[in-house]
């Protein structure tokens, strides 16, 4: 079910890892950001938008992870965008029909096996490099591009509505997940991205993470600080004192601790390989 979080901004939360789809009202319809995840959920999203009298006029994927590249024919045949680097990564990762099979095989290990529509997976067009706003007939949506988590990742600032769509950052249930294979310095890339988000945080009343709970104005800077503290702990090789991992993790999210341990081990191997120290 769509929930209004600001004037002309709605969020639809999926049962699968609390994935958030965001709809932003424009003059002729909505910009739909990261719609997902199961066919039934996307169908519900389409029904809700129809009841609101809001057709989809454009789409945007914040980054090139499969769960942010979904679409359904009920949402309409409209322009779907991502950053230039995001779209280039999609072309590299999803070059043929075999890619859909690989995603489907990956989902066999989850509770949503066979429920995710993959026919229109990843059919996005990259905006010209350096584009700073989404081209559509609605409120200005600023693109804050960075390299944390995934290539060409974009946070979106809807300034008129004072909403920050954070993509896979600033979550209350997921720790920062670094792009450990795609960048030379994933720690610094993540810290740089947090600085970019911090630069716009003063004008934000609502933050919508890709996964997790929507946060109010009191949460925006707090989540930036929490993510920064976690990344700095990773850099030092220490176990982070973070409520998203360990005994204090939310029920059902205990697996995030394994993600954390994997990142610690990967960074330790990288440090040993490069002859550096934390």
Predicted local confidence at residue 134, as pLDDT: 98
Distances (CA, A) of 78 to 26, 39, 123, 126, 259: 14, 18, 11, 14, 36
> What residue spans define the domains of the chain?
2-274
**88, two tokens:** 């280039």
pLDDT in tens, 37-81: 999 999 999 999 999 999 999 999 999 999 999 999 999 999 999
Predicted local confidence at residue 275, as pLDDT: 66
Predicted local confidence at residue 270, as pLDDT: 87
- Whole-angstrom Cα distance, residue 200 to residue 154? 13
Question: Under CATH, which number does the domain 2-274 receive?
Answer: 3.60.15.10
Q: How many Cα atoms sit within 13 Å of 61 on the Cβ side?
A: 33
Give every residue of the chain whose pLDDT is below 50, as ranges: 278
Q: What are phi and psi of 151, to 5 degrees?
A: -60, 135
Predicted local confidence at residue 271, as pLDDT: 81
Predicted local confidence at residue 272, as pLDDT: 81
Q: Is the pTM of this model over 0.75?
A: yes
- 63, 167 contact by CB (below 8 A): yes
- 118, 132 contact by CB (below 8 A): no
Predicted local confidence at residue 95, as pLDDT: 72
Where are the strands (E) in the chain, listed by range?
A: 2-6, 9-13, 20-25, 30-33, 56-60, 80-82, 125-126, 141-146, 153-158, 163-167, 206-209
């Amino acid at each position: 079910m769509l929930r209004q979080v600001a004037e002309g901004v709605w969020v639809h939360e999926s049962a699968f890892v609390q994935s958030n789809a965001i709809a932003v009202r424009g003059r002729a319809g909505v910009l739909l950001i990261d719609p997902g995840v199961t066919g039934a959920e996307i169908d519900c999203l389409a029904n809700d938008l129809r009841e609101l009298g809001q057709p989809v006029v454009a789409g945007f994927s914040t980054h090139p992870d499969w769960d942010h590249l979904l679409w359904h024919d009920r949402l309409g045949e409209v322009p779907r965008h991502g950053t230039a680097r995001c779209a280039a990564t999609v072309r590299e990762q999803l070059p043929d029909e075999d890619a859909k099979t690989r995603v489907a095989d990956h989902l066999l290990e989850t509770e949503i096996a066979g429920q995710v529509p993959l026919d229109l997976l990843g059919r996005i067009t990259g905006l010209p490099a350096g584009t700073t706003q989404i081209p559509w007939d609605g409120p200005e949506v600023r693109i804050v591009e960075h390299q944390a988590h995934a290539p060409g990742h974009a946070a979106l600032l809807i300034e008129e509505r004072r909403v920050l769509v954070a993509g896979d950052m600033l979550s209350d249930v997921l720790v920062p997940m670094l792009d450990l294979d795609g960048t030379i310095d994933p720690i610094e890339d993540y810290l740089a991205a947090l600085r970019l988000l911090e630069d716009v945080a003063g004008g934000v009343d609502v933050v919508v993470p890709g996964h997790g709970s929507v946060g109010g104005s009191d949460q925006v800077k707090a989540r930036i600080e929490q993510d920064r503290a976690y990344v700095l702990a990773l850099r030092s090789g220490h176990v982070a004192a973070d409520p998203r991992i360990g005994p204090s993790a939310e029920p059902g999210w205990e697996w995030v601790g394994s993600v954390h341990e994997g990142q610690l081990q990967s960074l330790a191997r990288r440090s040993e390989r490069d002859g550096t120290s934390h």
